[in-house]
Amino acid sequence: MPVIGFKQLIEKEVNGKKVIDSIDHVIPPFIFINQDSNMITEKVVEDKIYLVDFFFTSCPTICPKVKKNMKKVYNEFKHREDFLILSHSIDVKYDTVGRLAWYAGKFNISSKNWHLLTGTKEDIYKMSYQYYITAIESKDAPGGFDHSGYIALVDRNRKIRGMYDGTEPEKINNLIRDLKLLFKYE
């Protein structure tokens, strides 16, 4: 499975000769807060395979569908110590830690494997660029936010290995297939 993302070009020396090499896109360090008020940083995903999406709890459009599909993936892998999901809320005003805790309870998920995250607006939106998932605050969009329902699959080295449309059940089956491959070989 390829690594997804823009590569960075660097100059380096091989046998005394200068050559151009490229570095994979790696998700930079981060600090967010989850539904239990715990700090979630890149240390939490260290040596783990994890999924990422962006949503908000009062979303009247695609989010419930994406969440339903992600729950399927969660149920299949939640027994694993090295599997995590990070769902970032793009509605930093309304989705407080308390609201995220309520959502997690009603959605019946555990922070053992699934973190619902909040943070500063700037950090959340900057993070969405890193995963190549669109998230925009927009007065014209239903619910006040425009965002894509994509799910990113990230490997143990914080490199993106797949992007899946979370609204489509067949794409979710691809995601489950790819997750199994990553767990088996990496």
Partner 1 sequence: MKYIFFYTLLLSLVSCKNSTKTYNEGAILYKRHCENCHMSDGSGLEALYPPLAKADMLKNLGVKAACIIKYGLHGKILVNGIEFDTGMDPVQNLSDVEITNILNYIHNAWGNRKQFIQLNEVTHTLENCKTQIK
Q: How many residues bind partner 1 (CB under 8 A)?
A: 13
123-182: contacts with partner 1 (CB under 8 A): none
Phi/psi-derived region of residue 34, left when phi > 0, alpha when psi is between -120 and 50, beta in every other case: beta
In this structure, what is the dihedral angle of CA atoms 15, 20, 25, 27, given to the nearest 10 degrees? 60
Kindly tell me which residue out of 11, 15, 108, 184 binds partner 1, with binding defined by CB under 8 A. Answer: 108
Q: Which two tokens stand for residue 144?
A: 């006040």
Is residue 107 involved in binding partner 1 (CB under 8 A)?
A: yes
Nearer to partner 1, 17 or 106 (CB): 106
Q: Which of 143, 144, 145 is nearest to 135 (CA)?
A: 145
Cα(5)–Cα(161) distance, rounded to whole angstroms?
9
Nearer to partner 1, 11 or 140 (CB): 140
Sequence-ordered strand ranges (E) for 24-149 = 31-33, 39-41, 49-55, 83-89, 114-117, 135-137, 145-147
Q: Nearer to partner 1 by C-beta: 72 or 121?
A: 72
Helix spans in 50-131 (H): 63-77, 97-107, 121-130
Each residue 64-83 as x (binds partner 1 by CB under 8 A) or -, in order, gives xx-xx--x------------
Nearer to partner 1 (CB atom), residue 30 or residue 145:
145
Using CB under 8 A, which of the segments 13-21, 38-46, 104-112, 171-179 binds partner 1? 104-112
Q: Residue 110 or 120: which CB sits closer to partner 1?
A: 110
First to last CA, the chain: 11
- In the complex with partner 1, the residue whose CB is nearer, 12 or 139, is 139
3-state DSSP call for residue 166? coil
Q: How far is the CB of 145 from partner 1 (least distance, A)?
A: 14
Restricting to residues 12-71, which ones interact with partner 1 according to CB under 8 A?
60-62, 64-65, 67-68, 71
Site residues (CB under 8 A) for partner 1?
Answer: 60-62, 64-65, 67-68, 71, 103, 105-108
